[in-house]
Structures are given as structure tokens and as C-alpha cells.
Structure 1
């Protein structure tokens, strides 16, 4: 799968965006595209995709989380999560353990390799964010994060 480069995401000078550039959603999507393009490159060096990275971090941070809880935390359908969990398990990054209280559910835990990879990748992603958001001050980033959380919670 090819991903657009940052240059490919730059607006073309002769194309007018005037009617769209007043729309917050449009601007958020354009900003996301720029940040996501670099994130994909960062994660590819570790053999991860954005969804597998997010799932791994959540499993490490929430030992014993069920697949249903993980799907809810990632805001994806449980059926779509199966492929992600299978991929992480196949790569020996997480383990599925039957839950004694519910034989139909599995508790997900990170393996030592999964914990180590999470730490390495998270450090790289922090570096990616520092590069991608270098034009913002720490205060501006904090305000942006606060506003995005407010939008998400609305």
C-alpha cells in the first residue's frame, strides 16, 4: 500500500480552497493527512500499522483487557478487531488467555516482546509528533489537545 508523501498533500497553488478553508472539519482532515502520512512511515519501520500500534499500546496499558473492551476503546467494530488481535498474537506481541469468569471471553496481555516494542515505538511516535507539530509551542499543543478532546466528547 502506498501512502501520500507530505509533498503530495500540499495544496496546489492554482486550486482554490477558499470555500472549504473556512470549514473546521476540512482543515482537521487536511492536518490529519499530513500528520498521518509521517506516522505511517514511522510505524512501518517497526512492522506496525496505526491500528496495530494503537491496539498494542492499549493492551500494554490495560493488562487483561477483553477484545470487546479493546474494540470499544479503539472505536472499531469487534469483528474488525479480530484481524488486528490475530496479527499481534501471530507476531508474539500479545497473548489471549481464557477468562475464568467467562469462557467465551479472552483476556489480552502483552508478551515481554510486545511490551518492549510498545516502548520503542511509543518513543518513535513521540519523535514523529515533535517533528510534525514543531511549528506549535507546547502551550498551543496543549490547547489543541484539549480542544480535540472536547470535540470528541461532545
Structure 2
């Protein structure tokens, strides 16, 4: 195939990948994640750290093991995330009554405020990214993604 023919084929953009749901999900995720980081600004939350804070706000006194399960990550992978949030005084560790080996995670007042501000920027970012969709289309997309997630292995 000539150089020109190769360039023309790549410019066309129509490949077998375009028919794959996973490929399109990944490409969409890259767009959403990149914009998420921009929306958070310099020194803002990464998606994983934001998720951990959001879940801690929603489920105060959650254990690290339960948080890792909800996030779909290994508990060992959560340690650095919790350490980061704790070093910024956004969450604190608390004792679990009756089990001295387990610590619960509790958002601080600063953590709640940081979450509220971050959530506002995330919502604005998503409004921008999905501005070419109607409210009905966004609801359908969210419903379909939730349906896919029901197959998640715990």
C-alpha cells in the first residue's frame, strides 16, 4: 500500500474498532478523564482520589476494606489515596467500636467543603462534555452504563 493510500485510510477513521463498544467506551473515558483533570485544576483531585472522598462523604465511618470494594480496587491500592486525603486534612481515621484492628474513614469539615467544590466543577465539566446530548439521551446513557456495571465482579 502506498504512503498516500495509508494516510487516506487512516484519515477515513472507519475501522472495525468503531463497532466495538469497549473501544468507544475507552475513547469516551479518555475525553471525560482529561477534562476532569482540567476542571479540577492544578493540584486538584485525580479521579480515584475524588471517588474515595465522594464515597467517604456518602458513607461516613466506612472501613478501608469496604471503600476499596466500592471503588473496585485492591485494599493495598487504597492506602496511598487515604494517606493523601488524610495529609490534606480532608478525612480522618476513627476507631471502630468493638474492633481495634479496623479503622473507619470520616470526612472532615474541610473534606466536605472540598468535596462540594470538586463536585460542582465535575458537574460543570460533565455538562460541557455532554452538551451535545439531550437530557433524555444523558439519562439513557447513564441507565445503560449502570446496566453494564451490574455485571461487575465484586
- Which interval holds the TM-score relative to the shorter structure? 0.7 to 0.9
Deviations 1:97-138 (A, max 9, x none): 111221111111001000001001101100000000000000
- Name the CA distance, whole Å, in 2 between partners of 1:77 and 1:129: 28
Contact kept? 2:61, 2:104, Cα under 8 Å: yes
How many positions carry a matched residue from both structures? 143
Partner of 1:26: 23
Residue matched to 1:150: 147
State the secondary structure of the residue aligned to 1:56: helix
Give distance in 2, aligned partners of 1:62 and 1:45.
Answer: 27
Greater share of helix: 2
- Given the two structures, how large is their TM-score scaled by the length of structure 1? 0.88
Q: Give me the whole-angstrom Cα distance separating, in 2, the residues matched to 1:118 and 1:148.
A: 24
Aligned partners of 2:14, 2:34: CA distance in 1, in Å? Answer: 21
- Higher alpha-carbon Rg: 2
* Structure 2, unpaired ranges of 5+: 1-8
Q: Which runs of 5+ in 1 are unaligned?
A: 1-11
RMSD value over aligned CA atoms?
1.5
- Give 1:150 shift: 0.5
Normalising by structure 2, report the TM-score: 0.88
Alignment check: 8 A CA contact 2:37 2:44 kept: no
Shift of 1:94: 0.1
Determine which of 86, 109, 112 is the counterpart of 1:112. 109
